[in-house]
Amino acid sequence: MKFSKETITILKNFAAINGNVQFKPGSVLSTITPQRNIMASVTIKEVFPVEFLIYDLSQFLGVLSLFDDPDIIFEDDMKMARIKEGRTQIKYHAADRSVLVLPPEKQIKFPGADVSFTVTQQMISAIQKTGSVLSVPDVSFIGDGANLILRVSDIKSGSNAYEVELGSTDKTFSANIRLDSMKMLSQDYNVELSSKKISKWTAVNGDMTVYVALESSSTF
């Protein structure tokens, strides 16, 4: 099989969430952080024939980058993959399951949305860039009973803050996420916030869902 450019982009994103990954028979890829506060799932174009476990996804992607357009051949015993192009190949051995942090087999049951809105690709980029420039660690979605506000700041110190109005709401809440938990691909998302301290980010275009835990300081 070959990986499309879109799948390579997804895998690079997953590598930033967790270096461990499990390729399962079929087209669904999932990952979870070692802290288990971020989980992402996506359906890709390719179909994996067998299970294959990888300990260092960045290294695996680096191996692929050594070739122009490699074929990836997964052995039936699930212990090795051959990355091959022409007369050249690299034999890549599968990882031991016991050393990996993998997502649960069962899908997350989202408890239901108390607040929902859309965040655009441009907003995702602005959040990440502004947080870096201001050196602040928190992203907050705030409802004051009238306006829905996105704020990038340090909620503990009252530091410099970036704010933008996302729309209106009749609810009062503050849903806080660590900036370093904003590891989703930069694209448009429908966002759902639950008072159970979890958020669900569903890509508007494509088939990616990301669950991000809200900080304990969040209030509804």
Give the pLDDT confidence of 128-173 residue by residue, as tens digits.
999 999 999 999 999 999 999 999 999 998 789 999 999 999 999 9
* 34 and 60, same domain (yes or no): yes
Confidence of residue 206 (pLDDT cuts 50, 70, 90): confident
Q: Which residue has the higher pLDDT, 108 or 18?
A: 18
**Does residue 139 belong to any structural domain of this protein?**
yes
Question: Quick check: is 220 in a domain?
Answer: no
Confidence category of residue 120, pLDDT binned at 50, 70, 90? very high
Residue 104 lies in a domain: no
pLDDT at 107: 85
pLDDT for 27: 97
Would you say residue 89 lies in a domain? yes
Q: Are residues 138 and 170 in the same domain?
A: yes
pLDDT above 70 covers what percent of the chain? 100
Same domain for 139 and 206, yes or no, is: yes
On whether both 130 and 45 belong to a single domain, the answer is no
| 110 occurs within a structural domain | no
Q: Check pLDDT > 90 for residue 115.
A: yes
Domain count, the chain: 2
What residues make up the domain containing 69? Answer: 5-99
In a domain, 192, yes or no: yes
**Whether residue 77 is found in the same domain as residue 134:** no
Q: What is the pLDDT of residue 78?
A: 86
Confidence (pLDDT) at 200:
98
Contact criterion met (CB below 8 Å) for 176 and 215: yes
**Mean pLDDT score of the chain:** 96
Over residues 195-204, mean pLDDT? 97
Do 193 and 130 reside in the same domain of the chain?
A: yes
Q: Residue 26: which CATH number?
A: 3.70.10.10
Specify the pTM: 0.93
Domain co-membership, 47 together with 132: no
- Given 99, 132, 158, the domain boundary residue is 99
Asked if residue 105 is part of any domain, the answer here is no
User: In this predicted model, what pLDDT tens digit does every residue of 43-97 receive, in sequence order?
Assistant: 999 999 999 999 999 999 999 999 999 999 998 888 999 999 999 999 999 999 9
Same-domain pairing of 62 and 127: no
DSSP per residue, the chain: ----HHHHHHHHHHHHH-S-EEE-SEEEEEEE-TTSSEEEEEEEEEEESS-EEES-HHHHHHHHHTSSS-EEEE-TTSSEEEEEETTEEEEEEPPPGGG-----SSPP-----SEEEEE-HHHHHHHHHHHHHHT--EEEEEEESSEEEEEEE-TTTT---EEEEEEE-S-EEEEEEEGGG--S-SS-EEEEEETTTEEEEEESSSSEEEEEEPPTT-B-
